[in-house]
């Protein structure tokens, strides 16, 4: 389900260029090897979203379901709050020692932490140590994730031809959504096969063990990848600069990128607020706020996710043809106009209207899927690309993306206003729209050197 097909990826290369065959194979390996690691991250995200109730009962001692849900969302958010630190660790490694090196280290940490969650005893067995160990593993996962997305975007973008960069980087999003969909499917299959009680007793651990094994497979693939041509050129130029004594520090170069970092943070805000509300929060919202069954809410969310997955490569192709900025602006406007009506439809008792609302919101997200990764990568110069993209991406995700379920749950609980998520989406879209108006469209152009 989460597999990236080489035949589809090859569409981006002109068929009449026989000399491009080595580059074609190298790019295919890069896309597959890198996206599988991001799949693990989103696989884990789907597990937390689908199993939030069970995890809350297993690790947190409280009889109030809302308090347990808040606790697990807070633990989930903790993994995001540490991401900026991860970007400060893995970003400089990627810019100094190689994109492949940083990505291999980050997926190793992710695999170990994910597998460890499957082994943590429950609160009933070890008391307070249970939530402490869970939070620790989430922090390690967050540290790892701090180097994942920015590095993955950089790696694929630097392997891609200029005229097809949106298409190829969109496969990273395909891998992300595949991981999310696969995680939800695995939970559903195990719940169906084992039953609710067995799933709550021990079955929930198996998907996390699978996530750890997927991470090890991704590590194996990454170790076989070739470093990007851009980084090889950086290494050659660094040798020359060292010889002449004219090598600026990474920190000084990063400081000069602050205007671009702020622009990128604005784009990441709308990109991830939309992600985490539509894919991560709405299924739980349907269950915990509107009273639908867990199975119904999860299946409806998976249907919308599958719709998005199929159209992501199309979004990438359109971004290369129509322009990335135009796609992003369209997505922001659609969210501003339709978020509130869509959440009103969620309150109806019609399955058709519920699905229509989810599909409209998903369509808005699709305008970002093909355009956003290449746009963000193209903001930064080569020598600080990994660090700058990782930092701006993870700061914005920590503040506005991964915390969205927690913030929305808290705001609804204290205000009683069930339309809070719609306003959250609109706010993110306004930030994204303002940001993209300051970004020069780089569609079809070389990456900054």
Q: Kindly report, residue by residue over 152-170, the tens digit of the pLDDT.
A: 999 999 999 999 999 999 9
d(Cα 312, Cα 334) in Å, to the nearest integer?
Answer: 17
Contacts of 396 (CB under 8 A, 6+ apart): 264, 265, 266, 268, 269, 272
pLDDT of residue 165: 95
- Rounded Cα–Cα distance for residues 414 and 72 (Å): 18
Using DSSP, state whether 191 is helix, strand or coil: helix
d(CA 392, CA 394): 6
d(CA 381, CA 254): 9
Q: Where are the domains of the chain?
A: 28-232+249-436
Helices (H), 256-347: 258-275, 282-288, 294-322, 324-346
Do 268 and 436 contact (CB within 8 A), yes or no?
no
pLDDT at residue number 213 = 92
CATH architecture of 28-232+249-436: Up-down Bundle (1.20)
* Contact criterion met (CB below 8 Å) for 272 and 264: no
Task: Per residue of the chain (449 residues), give pLDDT as tens.
Answer: 444 444 445 444 444 444 445 477 888 888 888 888 888 878 887 787 778 778 888 888 766 677 777 777 777 777 778 889 999 999 999 998 999 999 999 999 999 999 999 999 988 898 888 889 998 998 998 899 888 889 999 999 999 999 999 999 999 999 888 888 888 889 889 988 998 889 988 999 999 999 999 999 989 989 988 899 899 888 887 766 555 555 566 677 677 888 999 999 999 999 999 988 887 788 888 888 888 887 788 788 778 888 889 999 999 999 999 999 999 999 999 999 999 999 999 988 888 898 899 999 999 999 999 999 999 999 999 888 999 999 999 999 888 876 787 788 888 889 988 899 999 999 999 999 999 999 999 999 999 98
DSSP string, 31-63: HHHHHHHHHHHHHHHHHHHHTHHHHHHHH---S
CB-based contact 448:233 (threshold 8 Å): no
Rounded Cα gap, residues 44 and 212, in angstroms: 9
pTM of this prediction?
0.84
Distance CA 392, CA 170 (A): 19
What are the pLDDT digits (tens) for 30-86? 888 888 888 887 888 778 777 877 888 888 876 667 777 777 777 777 777 888 999
Q: Rounded distance, CA 440 to CA 442, Å?
A: 6
**Triad 69, 75, 76: Cα angle to 5°:** 90
């Amino acid at each position: 389900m989460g597999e990236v097909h080489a035949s589809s990826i090859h569409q981006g290369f002109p068929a009449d260029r026989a000399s491009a065959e080595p580059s074609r194979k190298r790019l295919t390996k890069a896309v597959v090897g890198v996206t599988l690691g991001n799949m693990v991250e989103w696989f884990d995200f789907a597990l937390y979203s689908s199993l939030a109730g069970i995890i809350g009962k297993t690790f947190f001692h409280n009889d109030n379901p809302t308090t347990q849900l808040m606790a697990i969302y807070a633990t989930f958010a903790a993994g995001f709050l540490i991401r900026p630190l991860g970007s400060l660790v893995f970003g400089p490694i990627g810019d100094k020692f190689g994109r492949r090196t940083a990505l291999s280290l980050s997926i190793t940490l992710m695999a170990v932490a994910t597998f460890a969650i499957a082994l943590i005893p429950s609160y009933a067995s070890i008391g307070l140590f249970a939530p402490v160990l869970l939070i620790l593993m989430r922090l390690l996962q967050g540290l790892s994730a701090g180097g994942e997305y920015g590095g993955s975007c950089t790696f694929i973008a630097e392997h891609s031809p200029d005229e097809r960069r949106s298409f190829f980087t969109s496969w990273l999003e395909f891998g992300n959504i595949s991981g999310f969909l696969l995680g939800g499917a695995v939970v559903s299959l195990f719940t169906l096969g084992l039953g609710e009680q067995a799933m709550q007793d021990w079955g929930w651990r198996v998907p996390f063990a699978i996530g750890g094994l997927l991470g090890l497979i991704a590590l194996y693939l990454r170790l076989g990848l070739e470093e990007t041509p851009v980084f090889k050129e950086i290494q050659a130029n660094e040798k020359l600069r060292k010889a002449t004594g004219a090598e600026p520090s990474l920190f000084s170069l990063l400081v000069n990128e602050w205007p671009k970092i702020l622009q990128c943070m604005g784009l990441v805000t709308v990109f991830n607020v939309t992600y985490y509300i539509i894919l991560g929060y709405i299924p739980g919202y349907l269950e915990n706020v509107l009273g639908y069954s867990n199975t119904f809410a999860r299946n409806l969310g998976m249907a919308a996710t599958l719709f998005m997955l199929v159209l992501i490569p199309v979004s990438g192709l359109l971004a290369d043809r129509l322009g990335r900025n135009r796609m992003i602006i369209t997505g922001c406007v659609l969210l501003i106009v339709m978020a509130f009506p869509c959440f009103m439809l969620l309150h109806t008792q019609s399955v058709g209207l519920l699905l229509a609302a989810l599909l409209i919101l998903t369509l808005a997200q699709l305008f970002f899927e093909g355009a956003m990764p290449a746009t963000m990568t193209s903001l930064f110069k080569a020598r600080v690309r990994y660090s700058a993209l990782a930092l701006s991406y993870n700061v914005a995700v920590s503040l506005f993306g991964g915390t969205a379920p927690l913030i929305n749950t808290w705001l609804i609980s204290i205000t009683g206003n069930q339309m809070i998520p719609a306003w959250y989406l609109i706010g993110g879209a306004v930030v994204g729209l303002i940001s993209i108006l300051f970004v020069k469209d780089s569609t079809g152009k070389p990456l900054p050197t």
